[in-house]
Amino acid sequence: MPMPNNAIKMNKLRQVLRLGGSAHGTRSIAVMLGLSRTTVRKYLRIYHRLGLSLGELLSKDDATLYELFQVNPNSGRPESPSARELLALLPSYARRLRKRGMTKKRLFEHPVGYSKSRFNSFLLAYMEQGRTVMHIEHRAGERMFIDFAGDRLHLTDPTTGKRTAVEVFVAILPCSQLTYVEAVMSQDKEHLIAACDGVLRRRSENHRSRQSQVRREEARSL
């Protein structure tokens, strides 16, 4: 379930703005993008308060958009000693997180007085700022990125205990950030094609499901 008032990524914010500018209701936008209505309302209020046209906003790079919408989990709050400690650690955490085998869970083990979700929101916001140097516009459904990720994992037979090594196939739709992950036996062509087929089938199922959800929500609001 989407959490209200969470900071959202810049590509998701652009989708909120586009849909809001196309006369979609808050409820429909929330359903289509998997956000809470509170979050959608929050960003649409800022949009209307800015007094800029939709075209002007969408033409701005991510760094400018970030500043305009104040997408910052600590915006407007005084810094506590624990916040200052965490903020000082974020640059090294971001570098360490790029290393193979490092996870947010391992970084969180450092005691800085924050819950796991709060720690992750700080880290995400810091890393998002580092990603806003280049903006690439992705059209919905135009491309899909695929790769094999990380080390090989293992499936264990619950009866025999035999472990079988598998590859981790990952696909992502860059516009929506929808991600598909599947364990496959190898990186050979036959397994790669089967995994890609699985992505396309799931995408078709999700599209039909979302259309049905939107129609139901719009019918309730009539």
Among 25, 14, 26, 23, CA closest to 56? 14
Is residue 151 located within the same domain as residue 205? Answer: yes
Q: Cα(46)–Cα(13) distance, rounded to whole angstroms?
A: 11
Question: Is residue 159 domain-resident?
Answer: yes
- In the listed set 68, 95, 117, which residue is the last one of a domain according to the structure? 68
Q: Answer for the pair 122, 74: CB distance below 8 angstroms, yes or no.
A: yes
pLDDT digits (tens, 9 = 90+) for 24-34: 888 888 888 88
Give yes or no for residue 193 having a pLDDT over 90. Answer: yes
Identify whether 153 is part of a domain. yes
**pLDDT grade, residue 192 (50/70/90)?**
very high
Same domain, 106 and 38: no
Compare 187 and 1 and report the one with higher pLDDT. 187
DSSP state of 36: -
User: What band does 112 get if pLDDT is binned at 50, 70 and 90?
Assistant: low
Residue 199 within a domain: yes
Report if residue 165 sits inside a domain: yes
CB 114 within 8 A of CB 74: no
Q: Percentage of residues in the chain with pLDDT exceeding 70?
A: 70
| In a domain? residue 78 | no
The predicted pLDDT at position 134 comes to 45
Same domain, 152 and 177: yes
Check which CATH number belongs to the domain holding 27 and give it: 1.10.10
Residue 211 in any domain: the answer is yes
- Return the pLDDT at 75: 47
Q: How deeply is 110 buried, as exposed, middle or buried, from its count of CB atoms within 10 A (0-12, 13-18, 19+)?
A: exposed
Radius of gyration of the chain (CA): 20
**What's the number of domains the chain is made of?**
3
The mean pLDDT value of the chain amounts to 76
Domain encompassing residue 102: 84-128
Q: How much is the pLDDT for 213?
A: 61
Inform me whether the pLDDT recorded for 170 exceeds 90. Answer: yes
Is residue 203's pLDDT more than 70? yes
Of 26-30, 46-50, 66-70, 168-172, which range is least confident?
Answer: 66-70
pLDDT at residue 215 is higher than 70 = no
Q: What is the pLDDT of residue 212?
A: 58
pLDDT at 168 over 60: yes
Answer yes or no: is 192 within a domain. yes
pLDDT score of 106 more than 80: no
pTM of the model: 0.41
Residues 106, 40: one domain?
Answer: no
List of long-range contacts for 66-73, beta carbons under 8 Å, 24+ apart: 66/10, 66/128, 66/129, 66/132, 69/13, 69/43, 70/46, 71/7, 71/8, 71/10, 71/13, 71/125, 71/128, 72/7, 72/125, 73/7, 73/118, 73/121, 73/122, 73/124, 73/125
Residue (of 189, 133, 142, 196) closest to 169 by Cα position: 196
Task: Report d(CA 202, CA 204) in Å as an integer.
Answer: 5
Question: Do 111 and 88 lie in a common domain?
Answer: yes
Shared-domain flag, residues 124 and 147 = no
Average of per-residue pLDDT across 63-83: 61
Q: Calculate ∠ Cα 168-172-175, nearest 5°.
A: 170
Residue 38 lies in a domain: yes
Same domain, 61 and 103: no
Task: Give the 3-state secondary structure of residue 88.
Answer: helix
Of 48-57, 116-125, 129-138, the poorest mean pLDDT is in 129-138
Paired with 3 in beta bridges are none
Same domain, 162 and 215: yes
